[in-house]
């Protein structure tokens, strides 16, 4: 038991160092490159109050680039990576399906329709200084979760198979409506297509504040139920025999995971494969225990999205590649690998 705890600490420390290094690297690279060490020193000066020997004018430019532009984008990428990865862990645990991801019950389709309506039908409107695109994307994702959940509900129970089928059906319907609205979009079509492919272009600290409250509440809740997720892997009947209210826990976790995914999609667009591949990659190393799988997936998912975003904005600079393209290039081969592995059973 003691040895296992030691391994968990090593995993988390390694992932923290990895995430810290990738964050500083992502903040350093861009249209104006800032030396890695200089970025580190500027951060240290803000956190610990250490003195810098840089020219005042250069320091002012670097601080403006870092704190007003790049850190907002990097922090947002961290939060979106955590939200999608943790949601993926929950869905795969509840559905006991290695192919489950945060978009499986129609979250992405609902968000896409909301964003499309905001860009085409309600163009020019806003709420509290925000464009309607992230607002209606979140609303669309949340309403979709509500419909899918109630469509699948039988009495007080929500059968997993029915929930998955309801998600596929509602998702297909919303996708068709979105495509129809896009046909009517005309000159706004390019914006919608780019949004649907995901990314953090032009995002700022306000967008960070959209996701942060959901993570601040959702992440501790998911971790609190990590033991219950372990028991649900044994089957609902067996989990109930071991003393947990399987149906109640399942409902809470589905709602929490769906809201995490919806908040992420609202600010980043559709960033595919993160919630699918990250939990699997981490599970291969840590095993299926959710007490370590959840925090490690959160840290690794954050690193993965920050690194993918760095590639998206630097590989063909000044042209930015949609983030969803980069994550798909990583995710699709791994998905094929999973298809083959699923024959042997991963859980």
What's the pLDDT tens digit per position in 253-263?
888 888 888 88
Task: Please give the full DSSP string across 6-41, using - where no structure is assigned.
Answer: HHHHHHHHHHHHHHHHHHHHHHH-SSS---HHHHHH
Whether a cis peptide bond, with omega within 30° of 0, leads into 318 is yes
The answer to whether residue 2 scores a pLDDT higher than 50 is no
From the list 293, 310, 306, the residue with the least C-alpha distance to 346 is: 293
What's the pLDDT tens digit per position in 54-67?
777 787 888 888 88
Task: Quickly state the pLDDT bin for 130 (edges 50, 70, 90).
Answer: low
Structure tokens at 286: 């840590």
More confident residue, 80 or 62: 80
pLDDT, mean of residues 148-165: 76
More confident residue, 308 or 97: 308
Q: What pLDDT, on a 0 to 100 scale, did the predictor assign at position 174?
A: 87
Structure tokens at 214: 């959901």
- The number of residues making up the chain comes to 347
The conformational region for residue 239 under phi > 0 = left, psi -120 to 50 = alpha, else beta, is alpha
Q: What pLDDT, on a 0 to 100 scale, did the predictor assign at position 128?
A: 62
pLDDT, mean of residues 283-297: 90
Q: Which residues sit opposite 130 in a β-bridge?
A: 127
Q: Which residues sit opposite 126 in a β-bridge?
A: 131
Report CA torsion sign: 77, 78, 83, 85: positive
Winning range, highest mean pLDDT, from 152-156, 187-191, 274-278: 274-278
* Cα–Cα separations (whole angstroms), residue 15 to 10, 298, 308: 9, 9, 16
Residue 27: Cβ within 10 Å count: 25
Q: Which residues are within 8 A (CB) of 143 and not within 5 positions of it... i.e. 6 or more apart?
A: 110
The answer to whether residue 1 scores a pLDDT higher than 50 is no
Tokens 């990576």 locate to 81
Q: What pLDDT, on a 0 to 100 scale, did the predictor assign at position 245?
A: 82
From the list 287, 321, 279, the residue with the least C-alpha distance to 304 is: 279
Q: What pLDDT, on a 0 to 100 scale, did the predictor assign at position 306?
A: 95
Three-state secondary-structure class, residue 118: helix
Percentage, residues of the chain above pLDDT 90: 19
Residue 345 burial class via C-beta count within 10 angstroms: exposed 0-12, middle 13-18, buried 19 and up: exposed
What's the pLDDT tens digit per position in 158-191?
676 777 788 888 888 888 888 888 777 666 677 7
Q: CA–CA separation, 258 vs 250, rounded Å?
A: 12
Q: What pLDDT, on a 0 to 100 scale, did the predictor assign at position 220?
A: 93
Task: Quickly state the pLDDT bin for 124 (edges 50, 70, 90).
Answer: low
The string over 54-88, giving b where at least 16 C-beta atoms fall within 10 Å of a residue's C-beta and e elsewhere, is: eeeeebeebbebbeeebbbbbbbbbbbbbbbbbbb
Average pLDDT over the chain reads 83
Q: What pLDDT, on a 0 to 100 scale, did the predictor assign at position 198?
A: 82
Backbone phi, psi, residue 154, to 5°: -120, 100
Q: CA–CA separation, 67 vs 88, rounded Å?
A: 31
- Computed over its alpha carbons, how large is the radius of gyration of the chain? 21
Task: Quickly state the pLDDT bin for 80 (edges 50, 70, 90).
Answer: very high
From the list 242, 240, 229, 264, the residue with the least C-alpha distance to 108 is: 264
pLDDT, mean of residues 82-89: 92
Q: CA–CA separation, 213 vs 208, rounded Å?
A: 9
Q: What pLDDT, on a 0 to 100 scale, did the predictor assign at position 7?
A: 84
Looking at residue 186, what DSSP letter applies? G
Task: Quickly state the pLDDT bin for 17 (edges 50, 70, 90).
Answer: very high
Q: Which residues are within 8 A (CB) of 16 and not within 5 positions of it... i.e. 6 or more apart?
A: 299
What's the pLDDT tens digit per position in 210-226?
889 889 999 999 999 98
Q: CA–CA separation, 148 vs 163, rounded Å?
A: 7
């Amino acid at each position: 038991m003691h040895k296992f705890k030691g391994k968990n600490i090593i995993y988390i420390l390694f992932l923290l160092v990895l995430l810290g290094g990738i964050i500083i690297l992502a903040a350093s690279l861009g249209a104006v490159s800032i030396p890695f060490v200089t970025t580190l020193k500027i951060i240290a000066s803000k956190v610990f109050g250490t003195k810098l020997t840089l020219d005042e004018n250069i320091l002012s430019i670097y601080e403006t680039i870092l704190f007003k532009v790049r850190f907002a984008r990097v922090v947002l990428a961290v939060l979106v990576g955590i939200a999608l990865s943790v949601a993926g862990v929950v869905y795969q645990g509840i559905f006991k399906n290695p192919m489950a991801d945060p978009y499986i019950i129609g979250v992405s389709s609902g968000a896409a329709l909301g964003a499309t309506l905001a860009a085409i039908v309600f163009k020019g409107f806003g709420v509290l200084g925000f464009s309607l695109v992230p607002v209606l994307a979140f609303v669309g994702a949340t309403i979709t979760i509500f419909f899918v959940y109630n469509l699948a509900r039988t009495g007080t129970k929500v059968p997993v198979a029915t929930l998955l089928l309801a998600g596929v059906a509602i998702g297909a319907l919303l996708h068709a409506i979105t495509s129809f609205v896009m046909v009517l979009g005309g000159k706004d079509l390019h914006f919608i297509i780019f949004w649907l492919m995901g990314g953090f272009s032009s995002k700022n600290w306000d967008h960070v504040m959209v996701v942060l409250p959901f993570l601040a509440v959702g992440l501790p809740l998911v971790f609190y139920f990590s033991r219950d997720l372990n028991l649900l892997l044994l089957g609902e009947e067996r989990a109930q025999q071991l003393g947990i209210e399987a149906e109640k826990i399942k409902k809470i976790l589905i709602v929490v995971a769906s809201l995490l995914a919806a908040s992420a999609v609202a600010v980043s667009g559709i960033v595919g494969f993160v919630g699918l591949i990250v939990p699997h990659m981490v599970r291969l190393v840590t095993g299926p225990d959710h007490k370590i799988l959840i925090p490690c997936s959160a840290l690794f998912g954050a690193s993965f999205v920050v690194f993918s975003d760095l590639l998206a904005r630097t590989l063909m600079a000044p042209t930015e590649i949609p983030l969803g393209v980069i994550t798909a290039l990583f995710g699709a081969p791994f998905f094929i690998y999973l298809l083959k592995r699923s024959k042997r059973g991963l859980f």
